[in-house]
Amino acid sequence: MAVSEAGVQSWGSGQVARWLREEGFEEYVPLLCSEHRLDGPSLLALSEYDLRSPPLEIRVLGDVKRLMLSLRRLRRENGAALQELGVAREGRGHVCDGQAETGERLYYAYDGGSQVYERRGQVCNGRSHAGEGRSLDCNGRGHACDGQGRERSAELCRQHADGRFRASGSELDPEYWKTGVSCLYLTLACGLTSFVMVIVHDRVPDMQTYPPLPDIFLDSVPRIPWAFAMAEACGLVLCSIWLLVLLLHKHRSILMRRLCSLMGTVFLLRCVTMFVTSLSVPGQHLQCSAKMYGDVWAKLKRALAIWGGFGMTLTGVQTCGDYMFSGHTVVITTLNFFVTEYTPRSWHFLHTLSWVLNLFGVFFILAAHEHYSIDVFIAFYITTRMFLYYHALANTRAYQQSRRARVWFPMFSFFECNVRGPVPNQYCWPFDRPAVVKVLIG
């Protein structure tokens, strides 16, 4: 081009304006040339960050990208001018600390999956230093800098338990093996709970000697025979909703791990409360008497029947003595909190439905006179506090600075050590399309 033959380093604002018009950016001539007096050397030093940021603040993305493409062509045509002005050519470099080359370049890095991150930074001594970029290379060699060589934050690059580094904006590691450990933990907790239920059944107080305790709700509301079945039906509906959310959630492995670890911990706590104190039956309709199941094997067989029936009356399981605190309330409340936490805040109907099922389930448990009011209250309180405390620690990662938290909650630290901050509510279809469907629809 005629304007480039004169030497860009000697251009004034008039030549820059002429070049902008030839490239199709006439509308930006007043902004760049008249208002900000852009000349040849400053044009060569112009970056995409300058165009997007104050005082230029060009808001049209297409114009920014096209202008940068034109600038790159201009820089390639004026390599000598770049070297004379001390402006690094893209893809080339200058001596950095007398040892290696450095230069500003636009590059792309993968996070180990299919996502790509655009970065602009400095390459010095063969190591990447992120400058203006949105992410950084976390392959063990990259460092985040603020443009002056200072490391910005250790949170931008983290090492996982497998020794690999990942950027904070990269995909969350599902760590399926930890999810498997959490499922095993919940299974063992439920099995132990079933065995303790058999033991406390043998120790249930005699109804003639120890009648039902006074309870303000049970004494005021007549018993509804079908209410407990309705409570379990509410739990089944909530479970179906949660399974659908879990199926479609992008980070389903982390969600499942959190559910199992929380529910398993609460059930272990329930084992302690049931075993320590045996309450009298809450209603005369419960014909409970101490049952001796004989040896340990008979107890294990009964515990296996309770575990296989999920402790539900709908599956034919009937137990006594496991009152403090309500396991049905624990399950219903946990499912409600997980559904409302891991769905978008704008899904008001789903959240309202979840809370209605939770509250009606609690009401039906009491209306059936299957638990004391204190059983339900304690179960709701412990479950909600555990959920909120767990997620507060996980989302803020405050436990990393607290030795006490790591000592008292080692399992939590183990499950959450590689999860940075809140888990985003992102959804995707979990299954690949069959080959036949791919052929038909392309």
Place of tokens 């400095």: 122
- Which residues, including other chains, have CB under 8 Å from residue 349's CB and lie 6 or more apart? none
Residue 107 CB coordination number (10 Å): 15
> Which of these is catalytic: 146, 375, 391, 432?
375
Among candidate residues 121, 192, 182, 104, the one with its CA nearest the CA of residue 156: 121
Q: CB pairs under 8 A, 24+ apart, for 99-102?
A: 99/125, 100/124, 100/125, 100/126
d(CA 318, CA 232): 13
- The answer to whether the CB of 88 falls within 8 A of the CB of 79 is no
Examine the residue annotation and report whether 351 is marked as an active-site residue of this protein: no
> Which of these is catalytic: 143, 249, 251, 328?
328
Place of tokens 């990447």: 128
Examine the residue annotation and report whether 328 is marked as an active-site residue of this protein: yes
> Which of these is catalytic: 63, 371, 391, 432?
371
Examine the residue annotation and report whether 375 is marked as an active-site residue of this protein: yes
And the tokens for 56?
């230029």
DSSP letter at 27?
G
For residue 138, count CB atoms less than 10 angstroms from its CB and return exposed for 0-12, middle for 13-18, buried for 19 or more. Answer: buried
For residue 144, count CB atoms less than 10 angstroms from its CB and return exposed for 0-12, middle for 13-18, buried for 19 or more. Answer: buried
Q: Which residues are catalytic?
A: 328, 371, 375
